Structure 1
C-alpha cells in the first residue's frame, strides 16, 4: 500500500459514505474513493478477496474493479479506480435511453450479477450511481462487494426508490436484493424516472412506505415490448421469492435481444411498435433484433478438451442522439446453434475474411490486439476464446480498431474480430497465442 499526499487530490464529489477525488498522474486519470476512517484488517482482507474473485469472472470487463488500496497521510484509506465521467443519472438527464440499449444493458449487468452470485458474491447496492459509462462508451457496474458495506453502512433513505423492501425493513442484503436493484435501475433507464417517482411534499419516509406497500410505476408506451415491462415488474416483486434469479434474467434479456420475447412462435415482431416510438429514443429494439440470417462462424479453441463458441450478445450504453451507434447499430452476434441475429432487416451472410487482425502482442497478463479494415464507420466485436472455458466472451469496441484484453498467464487463447457496416458483415481469421489451435 503506497502513501498518497492529500495535496495531490482534486475534490470531485462527497457521498453519504465516502469522498471521491481525482488523482491526476502521468497515465490516465484515476479516482480515489476515500472513507472517513482507516480500514481494519478484516475489511482490508475482505476487499482483497472480493476483488480477486471479481477479477477472475468472465464478465470482469463490465465491472469497475479496485486497482489498488492507497493510504493517505492522515491514516485514511482510499480505493483507486478507473475514472468514469458519467453514471446512469447523468446519461438519462436528457431523456430515457433507447429501448435496445436498455435491453442490452440489462443483459450485460444481469450477466455480471449472475456470475458474481455463482461465485458467492453479492453486490449489495445496485443503484443508478453505480452504473457508470467508461471512456470507451461501455457500461460497468461499480462499488461491488460487501466488505465495505458492512464496515460503512450507507443511508438507505437516499436510494430508497431503488432499494428492495426487505433491505429497507431489516437490512437484508442478498442476491435477490441485487436483482431488485437492477430492475429499478433499468426502470430509470427505460422511463427516465425512478420506479417510485417523488411526489410534491413527500418526505423520504413516505417514499419508503410506498416501496414497502405499493407496486412500482407502470412502464407505459406501445414502443416498450410487453415482455420487457413484465420482466422488470417481476424483478421488483415485493416478495424476494417471486423474483427471477440473475441467471434467469440473463436468459430473458437474451430472448428479447433475439426477438423471442413472449410470442408463441418464439418471434416478436417489433414493427408493431415503430409507429409510436417515444420521443428522443433513437435506437428501437428492431435495430438489435430482426430477421434471422445464416449462421456466422465464431472462433474456436481446439485441443483444450473443449470447443469454445460464442453464446452471448453485448453492446454499449449510449445516450440518445449522442453516439454513432444511435444511427448505425453495433454488430449483433448469437449462438451458432440457435437463432441468429442481424442489426438490420436485410438478410445477409458474412463476407470472406477481410478484416486484418495483426499478430497479438502477448504481455503475460494482457494481450494487445489491433486490426484494420478499409471502410470507415465499421463497428467491431472482439471474441476471446479461453482454454477450458465453455464460452467465448465478446467485447464491443465501436469503431475503435484496438483493444487490450486481460488474460491468464498460464492459458491459451484464440481471438477473432467481426465487424458490421450497414448490414454487411466482415471478419478476421482466428489467431491464437501460446500454441493454441484455432478454427472458425
Structure 2
C-alpha cells in the first residue's frame, strides 16, 4: 500500500460516504478516500472482488481499483482511472437519444449479467456510478459489497434508484442490481428518476413512494413499447417479478438488432442517431430463462486443437485497401499458409463442419458497428475477428457466448468481419462481411 501526501490531492467531488480527489502526474487518476482506514478483512475482500472483476470478459466496461493507497492520517484511498463525466452530467441538458439508452443498457446489463454469474453483486448502481471515459466510452464504477458493508451509506440519498427491499431491510442482491439499473436507464431515457422529489418533499417521502407507488410509464419520443415495458419490469416492486440481468441483456440485444416487423422497433426511424462515441466493444453472456436462481450452464473448455484452430482465424479475414496511397501501414493483411490451410490429421482438418454461422449485414454507426449472427444450435463461445484497412493483423473484437456485439471502428476506414465459434468439439465460421466497400479475402 503506497502512501500519498495530502498536498498531492486536488478535491473533486464529495459523496455520501467518500470523497474523490484527483492525482495529477503522467496521467490523471481519481482517488476515492474513505473516512476511516480499512481493516485487513475488508482490504482482502476488496482485492478478491477486483481480481474477479478483472477476469470478466466485460472488464473493459468496468472502472477497476488500480491500487489501495494510504494517506498520512491513516485513511485509505482507492486509486482508479479518472472519468470526467457521469450520467447526471450527460443528462443535465436533457434525456439521451433513445439509441444511446439502448446501447447503454446493453453494456451495463452485460457487465451485471457476467458479474452475477461470477457471484458478484454491485450493490449500488446509481447514476453517479455510470461514468464516461475521456474517449466517450461508458463504464460502471464502484463495484462490490466489501466496502458497502464496511462503510454503509445513507440509502435515502439515492432512494429513487434503490430497490424497495433494500430500503426496507438493506438486502443487497442481484435482483436489487436489476432494479437500480432500470431506474438509471429510466433517468437516461426521460431526464428524471422514476420517483423525482416533489416540491417540498422530504427524503422520507420519496422512500414511501418507492415502497408503495408503481413507477410511471414511459411515453412519448417514439419510445419502443418493448423498451418501455422492459424498464417497468425491471422496476417491479417484488424481486421475483423482475427479469434477471441475463434476460435484460437479451432484451437489449434484440432491441439493437430488431427490424421494422419486430414490435415496430426500427432504429432507422429514430429521429436521433446513436452517439457512436459512447459505444464500446462489449462483452456479453448467454441469456437464461427468467427464473430467480437459474442453474447456469458452464462453458466447456474446447480441446487445445480446436482453440488453436479458432484462434488461427485471425489471419483468415483481411481487408484489401482500395484507392489508398501506398505507404507504411497500408499493406493488406494476408493469411499465413499454416493458418489458412490445415493439414490432414490436425484438429482443424478433422473437426471443421460445413454448417456456416450466419452473419447478418453489419450496421455501420460511424465509430461503431453492430453485428448480429445466428447458428442452428447453441455454441459455447464465439469470436468476432476484425480486419481493418492498413492494419498488419486482424484483432479479436469480441469473445463470448452472445449472438450480437458492438465493435468500435474508426471513421473512414474499411473493415471486414468474421464470426467463428465452437461447441467444444468442432469450430464453425461465417462468411466474412464488409463495410464501406472493403474486399474480404480468405476465411471461407
Q: How does 1:132-281 map to 2 (within 5 A)?
A: 132-221=131-220, 223-259=222-258, 266=262, 268-270=264-266, 277=271, 281=272
Secondary structure in structure 1 of the residue aligned to 2:254: helix
Residues 151-181 of structure 1 show CA distances to partners (whole Å, capped at 9, x for unaligned) of 0001111100000000000000000000000
> What root-mean-square deviation, in Å, do the aligned CA atoms of Structure 1 and Structure 2 show?
3.5
1:333 paired to 2:371: yes
Secondary structure in structure 2 of the residue aligned to 1:185: helix
Decide whether aligned partners of structure 1 residues 255 and 359 sit closer, same or farther in structure 2, where only a CA change above 3 A counts: closer
**Unmatched runs of 5 consecutive residues or more in structure 1:** 289-300, 314-324, 339-351, 361-368, 370-381, 402-417, 431-438
State the alpha-carbon separation in 2 of the partners of residues 227 and 170 from structure 1.
32
Secondary structure in structure 2 of the residue aligned to 1:207: helix
8 Å Cα contact 1:353-1:426 kept in structure 2: no
Deviation at 1:66, TM superposition (A): 0.4
State the alpha-carbon separation in 1 of the partners of residues 158 and 258 from structure 2.
33
Task: Tell me the residue number matched to 2:29.
Answer: 30
Secondary structure in structure 1 of the residue aligned to 2:372: coil
State the alpha-carbon separation in 2 of the partners of residues 49 and 311 from structure 1.
40
State the alpha-carbon separation in 2 of the partners of residues 206 and 330 from structure 1.
43
Task: Tell me the residue number matched to 1:96.
Answer: 95
Residues 184-220 of structure 1 show CA distances to partners (whole Å, capped at 9, x for unaligned) of 0000000001101221111111100000000112211
Task: Tell me the residue number matched to 1:124.
Answer: 123
Residues 343-373 of structure 1 show CA distances to partners (whole Å, capped at 9, x for unaligned) of xxxxxxxxx976122358xxxxxxxx7xxxx
Residues 19-39 of structure 1 show CA distances to partners (whole Å, capped at 9, x for unaligned) of 11000012x200000000000
Residues 79-102 of structure 1 show CA distances to partners (whole Å, capped at 9, x for unaligned) of 000000000000000011110110
The normalised TM-score by structure 1 is 0.70
Secondary structure in structure 2 of the residue aligned to 1:196: coil
Decide whether aligned partners of structure 1 residues 272 and 117 sit closer, same or farther in structure 2, where only a CA change above 3 A counts: closer
Deviation at 1:426, TM superposition (A): 4.1
State the alpha-carbon separation in 1 of the partners of residues 388 and 13 from structure 2.
47
8 Å Cα contact 1:354-1:428 kept in structure 2: no
Task: Tell me the residue number matched to 2:306.
Answer: 303
2:389 is aligned, of 355, 369, 373, to 355
8 Å Cα contact 2:368-2:409 kept in structure 1: no
Residues 116-154 of structure 1 show CA distances to partners (whole Å, capped at 9, x for unaligned) of 000000000000000000111111000000000000001
State the alpha-carbon separation in 1 of the partners of residues 205 and 32 from structure 2.
31
Deviation at 1:391, TM superposition (A): 6.5
Q: How does 1:313-392 map to 2 (within 5 A)?
A: 328=366, 330-337=368-375, 355-359=389-393, 383-385=397-399, 390=401
**Unmatched runs of 5 consecutive residues or more in structure 2:** 280-303, 314-356, 377-385, 414-431
8 Å Cα contact 1:96-1:188 kept in structure 2: yes
State the alpha-carbon separation in 2 of the partners of residues 214 and 84 from structure 1.
35
2:436 is aligned, of 424, 432, 439, to 424
Task: Tell me the residue number matched to 1:61.
Answer: 60
Deviation at 1:398, TM superposition (A): 5.0
8 Å Cα contact 1:10-1:22 kept in structure 2: yes
Residues 304-352 of structure 1 show CA distances to partners (whole Å, capped at 9, x for unaligned) of 1785899999xxxxxxxxxxx7xx47322112549xxxxxxxxxxxxx9
State the alpha-carbon separation in 1 of the partners of residues 249 and 441 from structure 2.
30
Deviation at 1:75, TM superposition (A): 1.1
Deviation at 1:282, TM superposition (A): 4.6
Secondary structure in structure 2 of the residue aligned to 1:357: coil
Residues 364-394 of structure 1 show CA distances to partners (whole Å, capped at 9, x for unaligned) of xxxxx7xxxxxxxxxxxx6155xxx656976
8 Å Cα contact 1:114-1:246 kept in structure 2: yes
Aligned residues: 344
Decide whether aligned partners of structure 1 residues 266 and 41 sit closer, same or farther in structure 2, where only a CA change above 3 A counts: same
Decide whether aligned partners of structure 1 residues 391 and 256 sit closer, same or farther in structure 2, where only a CA change above 3 A counts: closer
State the alpha-carbon separation in 1 of the partners of residues 208 and 194 from structure 2.
13
8 Å Cα contact 2:369-2:409 kept in structure 1: no
State the alpha-carbon separation in 2 of the partners of residues 428 and 68 from structure 1.
44
State the alpha-carbon separation in 2 of the partners of residues 57 and 207 from structure 1.
36
State the alpha-carbon separation in 2 of the partners of residues 29 and 52 from structure 1.
23
State the alpha-carbon separation in 2 of the partners of residues 81 and 143 from structure 1.
10
1:396 paired to 2:408: yes
8 Å Cα contact 2:367-2:409 kept in structure 1: no
Secondary structure in structure 2 of the residue aligned to 1:124: coil
State the alpha-carbon separation in 1 of the partners of residues 105 and 235 from structure 2.
14
State the alpha-carbon separation in 2 of the partners of residues 103 and 37 from structure 1.
39
Decide whether aligned partners of structure 1 residues 255 and 384 sit closer, same or farther in structure 2, where only a CA change above 3 A counts: closer
User: Which is worse superposed, 194-203 or 265-274?
Assistant: 265-274
